[in-house]
Amino acid sequence: KAAIHLSGQYNPLVSNSSVEWFDNADQSFSSGLKLEGNEIKIFRKGLYFVYSQASYSLNCKAEGEEDEGEVMHLTHKVQRWSDAYNSYKPLLSSIKSTCKKTRKDGATKWFGAIYLGAAFNLEAGDRLRTV
């Protein structure tokens, strides 16, 4: 069976809208799929379970802090490129409102994760990416 499990890290030098993916770090592996140009390349038509988890940490406004900050909204999406429509289309997406952000020292650190997953029929030549 084709499978791939990647590890990623935010790197603004690579992208402001996605993480940089690695197939050779931590518990990462690849079998029958390939990480190429920060995208997963599909070689065979078939049914695939596509999943992605984004873990995050944020500096948040502490309880009782007077300074009003903006509420943080995090989005996590998996997009599919297909030759059939010659563009990226959304496959999975989520948005999460978290907390009010702050730049103050000693801010409360918030941790969380967004998980996406579902089964899709994919075509040979399709590519998947996160944003």
Distance of CA 30 to the CA centre of its chain: 18
pLDDT 10s digits, 110-129: 888 999 999 999 999 999 99
Tell the residue number behind the tokens 């402001």, with chain if given.
16
In the chain, how many domains are there? 1
- CB of 130 within 8 A of CB of 51? no
Q: Note down the domain range covering 110.
A: 3-130
Tell the residue number behind the tokens 């695939």, with chain if given.
48
- Taking alpha carbons only, the member of 29, 36, 32 closest to residue 6 is 29
CATH number for the domain including 83?
Answer: 2.60.120.40
Worst-scoring range by mean pLDDT, 47-51, 74-78, 100-104, 126-130?
100-104
pLDDT 10s digits, 10-55: 888 888 888 899 998 888 899 999 999 999 999 999 999 999 998 8
- CB of 20 within 8 A of CB of 38? yes
| Beta carbons within 10 angstroms of residue 11's beta carbon | 11
Residues in a beta bridge with 90: 79
What type of residue sits at position 52? S
